[in-house]
Amino acid sequence: MSRKKGDREKQIEDSKMRWLTRYTDWAVKRLRFDEFDEASANEFLLKVKAEILKRFPGREKEYFLIYHRRFARILLKRGIIIELYDSNAIN
């Protein structure tokens, strides 16, 4: 039984990671090609962050270190500057 439980947990984790990859790829595509100004980009990223943290609770620091910075760099290339540092993410 322990092995089946371990296999099931691995399947669940793999599924969550596949979702995260697809979702962040979708967000990157939107950031690169959709029309955004600073306000709409911030609003979009707040929704993206909420959706990711809903599935990965307690991972705010990881979100900031990996995804927020990645998203900010993409927007910066388009001339949109968003706050890179989140006072809640680094404690």
pLDDT in tens, 43-71: 999 999 999 999 999 999 999 999 999 99
Confirm whether pTM is higher than 0.95: no
Euclidean distance between CA atoms 88 and 90, whole angstroms:
6
Euclidean distance between CA atoms 72 and 78, whole angstroms:
10
- Tokens (6 digits) for 29: 């595509």
- Tokens (6 digits) for 86: 């989140």
- Work out the pLDDT band at 10, boundaries 50, 70, 90: very high
Kindly compute the dihedral angle of the four CA atoms of residues 4, 9, 12, 14, in this order, to the nearest 10 degrees.
-100
Q: Where are the domains of the chain?
A: 2-77
